[in-house]
A and B are shown apart, each in its own frame.
Chain A
Amino acid sequence: MKIATEGLAVDSVHVWRGDRHVLQGVSAEVHRGELLHVSGPNGTGKTTLLRVVSGLLHPEQGIVTWLGQSIVSHRTDYQAALAYAAHEPALKGDLTALENLHFSVGMKRRSTLQELRDALERTGVAACADLPARVLSAGQRRRVSLARVIAMRASLWLLDEPYANLDAAGSQLVSELLQAHVATGGLALVVAHRELALACTVRRLELNS
């Protein structure tokens, strides 16, 4: 069994929200070239788990390790190596799509505007590059946040409901991006309600109340 020294491991994580025991001893693992599909009814802590894995939320018990080391002690290095796309596409309404990418991807790696335009091209929203994000539709905003994930070139993707607000073509695009990412040795942790028809090793994690 590949020990989790070259991947992500979640080890019996417990989280309470007030009196609600949201995550009850959740454990999971995902290695290079693999995808972890997290599913389960609403309110069972899927987003909470993603926030714990991203290092935003400190679990009361249990630890998360990346490449064998706890993410708490190596927080900034770990967070530099991941791309997080939350349920709501995080865009500034007053900035254009290109500016949004420039100011968020630019925090992680030096990237030219052309690279960012190519990423927007890849997710089919090149036309909106110079439009303020507030005028974009929900689907277009989702595609811009996907472009951000691509442009960051992170090895670990944490995607919360990437298929939300997307049409058939959009969903197809997400599946292609995931497969391409995992094929090049990347890792992904995806929260989604629907079945993922992907041609790569997919681990399942079912969260129930």
Chain B
Amino acid sequence: MWTWFYKLASPPYVYRVAAALMPWFLGLAAVTIGYGLIGGLVFAPPDYQQGDAFRIIYVHVPSAILSVTVYTIMAVASAIALIWRIKVGHAVAAASAPIGASLTLLALVTGSMWGKPMWGTYWAWDPRLTSELILLFLYVGVMSLRSAFEDPARGDRAAALLAVVGVVNVPIVHFSVVWWNSLHQGSTLVTLEGPKMQSSMLWPLLSMLLGFTLFYGAVLCIRVQGEVLQRERQSAWVREAIKS
């Protein structure tokens, strides 16, 4: 059972797998996002409270969920790389950081655009958006630390440790922000009594979430190839890899 895990540790194998999987990820992502957008913008009925403004959740919720998930993936990859000294872990972490940061920014922008009709201002220090903002700071911290070192290997390890320390703090930050200001209306999707939305509203949202996840997979596959090449000494397999 463990063989695939060990194979995942070898850079040439990861490079080939990433190159092979990328088209599948991208294709499926296009399909699911396409369906989600059409379902969400055209067929889903307007919300009884917010009217058509609620359609922003079809981009806000997936990017918000992804922003935290990608940070967690980055932290897990960093922990694996630190503990077992697997260089591919650093490559995955370095590749995930910009994607996660851009999705966090997307969540922030769409969240404040969604807030305007509801609260009358673009920024009302809503706990969910404030946590997203702090998450963006954590991403920027990890990325700038990685690039601050001349020796890339040390930059990787320093950023990896910061990612692990950061992921421990994400729930703490979120709890403290919510404790500080419980103004935000309960999230329509993840609530105790299950989604308040009708199925015609819900399915497009789940499809968008799946689409964004697959899209993350696709971009990760591209970036990981670059990061693996960068970290790979002048070993034989790199020569073939560059030709393709």
Contact = CB atoms under 8 A, between A and B. Distances in A.
Indicate yes or no for A touching B, C-beta below 8 A. Answer: yes
B208 to A, nearest CB: 42
A17 B233 CA distance: 11
Contacts of B152: 18
- The dominant DSSP class at the A interface is strand
Nearest to A17: B151
Interface string B138-172: 00000000000011110000000000000000000
A17 B151 CA distance: 7
B115 to A, nearest CB: 46
A21 B233 CA distance: 10
Contacts of A21: 233
Contacts of B150: 18
A19 to B, nearest CB: 8
Interface in A10-31: 16-18, 21
A21 B152 CA distance: 14
A209 B233 CA distance: 18
B227 to A, nearest CB: 16
B233 to A, nearest CB: 7
Nearest to B149: A18
Interface string B213-244: 00000000000000000000100000000000
A17 B149 CA distance: 12
Contacts of B151: 17-18
Nearest to A58: B85
Interface in A115-140: none
Contacts of A17: 151
Nearest to A20: B151
Contacts of A16: 153, 233
A16 B152 CA distance: 11
Interface in B55-92: none
A58 B42 CA distance: 59
B170 to A, nearest CB: 29
Contacts of B233: 16, 21
Interface string B41-65: 0000000000000000000000000
Nearest to B157: A58
A16 B235 CA distance: 14
Contacts of B153: 16, 18
Given A17-B151, A18-B150, A18-B153, 5 more contacts: A16-B153, A16-B233, A18-B151, A18-B152, A21-B233
8 contacts: A16-B153, A16-B233, A17-B151, A18-B150, A18-B151, A18-B152, A18-B153, A21-B233
Closest 4 CB pairs of A and B: A18-B151, A17-B151, A18-B150, A18-B152
Interface of A: 16-18, 21
